[in-house]
Amino acid sequence: MSGRRDQHEADPHRRTEPTLGDIDHLDSPRGPASDGLPQVKVEARSARPGGGPPARSRNRPGGRRGWLLPVLLLALIAVIATAWLNQGWLRGKLPNTELNDVLSRAQQALQAGHLDGQDGTSARELFQSAIALQPDNDRATDGLRQVGQAELAQADAALQAGHLDQAAQQAASARDLLGGGSDVDRLDAQIVQARAAQDSSQVKTVDLVDQAQQALADGKLEGPHGAGALYKQMLQADPNNAVAAHGLDQVGDALAVQAHKAFDANDSTTANALVEELAALQPNSGALPALRAQQAQTRKQDDSALDTELKQGADAFRAGRIVGQGDDTALAHYKAALAIDLDNAEAHAGLGKVAQALTVQASAAIDAGDSAQATQLLDQAAVLAPKSADLAAARARLNGASAQGAPPQAADPNNASPDDSVQPSAPVVLSPQQSAAVAGLIKRAQVAAARGDIMLPPGNSAYDLYRNALVIDGSNAAALQGLQALPVQVEKQFNQALANGNLGQASNMLDNLAELAPGEASQGALSDRLAGAWLDQAEQQLRDGDRVGATQSLDRARKLSPNQPRVLDLAARLQGSP
């Protein structure tokens, strides 16, 4: 062994410096072995199958996998950039127990309608707390927007309910959350208008108070300008007005006292009117049950007297004692019946029959050429049934007959009047202008009748148009036939309105029929049918809790058929219901 090796072995802790060996003999076949390092034998890589050149080394820069590192580097850069651009979204994906809990409670408060407050539990406060935890959280930002929209909706509802202060407060909150907008501007404008109207109403209410108190002091209780109507108008504008409520109570007490005095004086007509006035003003008045009971007792007494008068009136009519001197005529008995019950349908029908009888007698006088007698009879009938179609036709015949001997005289169709007191002299031979005017009036009358304008509007109703035609030509067959056919058309329209449930229209048609054909026997059955319909409506209103509406419908039925058992039964139930 050489001395160098021995030194190393003798001092094992001594560091051995690395050497490059003999770089001068690298190309020498023995070069690698002369550096004193162990020899490593490297075998050559076998050739590719098929005899191709050997594959390039994987570790060389020009090898097949050399592109992988740049691609990986680019991918890493893309991932970092995406994460940077979407850091808010990624942060939201990370589990955050506190944030999620706040958002969940905020959403629950929003759904429950607890929008704002100062105790930390409202939707607005919770969503704002979530934003404080994570300023760019989309759920919290969208939640605040939903709170603003809910505030806007509640402000609109408060405005519709008349709660202006609440509406203004919630509108301000909505503006704060939504940053304004056309909907908020519209709501603010409506609140301003409502405040102006409220201020005006308050001023008007003060005026009404003075007027109502003065009317009460003067004893003017009833009517549209009475104390009762004024106090009720105040309550409709302000249901919580204590002054109006107290004033209405005073009016109710005064009406009750007057009604009792009228009953004691046997003035049932006045007493009944006072009771109905009280019922309209104060449907829940404590005085009404006793008054209704006294009204029922008085009605029984009146009914007995009424039945007597009606029976005697019918007997006198059958005996031919229609009009004349004394109290034992049909006219006298029916008038006495109306003095007991002003709205009695049978008494009105009796007067209608008297008018019909007088009209028939007048027609006979016209046929006999006795114009004076005919005029007298028609004048008597006109007092009882001024709108009778038969009366109008007979009056036209009388006028035409009176004018037959008169020289031709031009009539002005524009100045024709349907007034029964007017006695125009219609020429026997009409001019072309007059004939055209009559034809136009008849055509308009037919259209009006089909439309349901039977008695109204004045001047343009079917009744007035036919009569205007008869003023020009009193013997015109088409006008006479159309006028006398009006009751038939009215009855058809009554049936149609009743079938459609339009009770108001049916009532109007029944009133028209009573005017056009007073005393017609079929009207009693029509009245009973309409009364039944009003009672059906009253029953439904009572089931729905609408006692005021049920009372009004019952009153309409009572006027048509006062003794119908259903009327009495429903009246008793209404008195007993709370």
Per-residue b or e along 189-200, where b marks 16 or more CB atoms closer than 10 Å to that residue's CB: ebbeebeeeeee
- Please tell me the predicted confidence (pLDDT) of residue 189: 85
CA pair distance 350, 337, nearest whole angstrom: 10
- Please tell me the predicted confidence (pLDDT) of residue 70: 75
Q: Is the pTM of this model over 0.85?
A: no
- Please tell me the predicted confidence (pLDDT) of residue 505: 92
Alpha helical stretches, state H, 112-137: 123-133
Nearest residue to 513 (alpha-carbon basis) of 463, 444, 443, 445: 463
Every domain of the chain and the residues it spans: 92-180, 218-286
- Please tell me the predicted confidence (pLDDT) of residue 523: 84
- In the numeric block, the tokens 């005073």 are attached to 250
In sign, the C-alpha dihedral spanning 332, 335, 341, 343 is positive
Ramachandran angles phi, psi of 429, nearest 5°: -105, 120
Residue type at 484 in one-letter notation: Q
Q: Are 378 and 395 in contact (CB under 8 A)?
A: yes
- Please tell me the predicted confidence (pLDDT) of residue 98: 82
- Please tell me the predicted confidence (pLDDT) of residue 509: 93
Nearest residue to 509 (alpha-carbon basis) of 528, 525, 484, 488: 488
Distance from the Cα of residue 573 to its chain's centroid:
29
Average pLDDT across each block of 10 residues of the chain; the chain has 578 residues. List them in order. Answer: 44 50 49 49 48 48 63 78 62 66 88 86 89 87 89 87 84 84 85 70 61 77 77 76 82 88 86 85 85 84 86 92 90 90 82 90 89 91 89 85 50 44 50 91 94 90 90 87 91 94 92 86 86 93 88 88 82 70
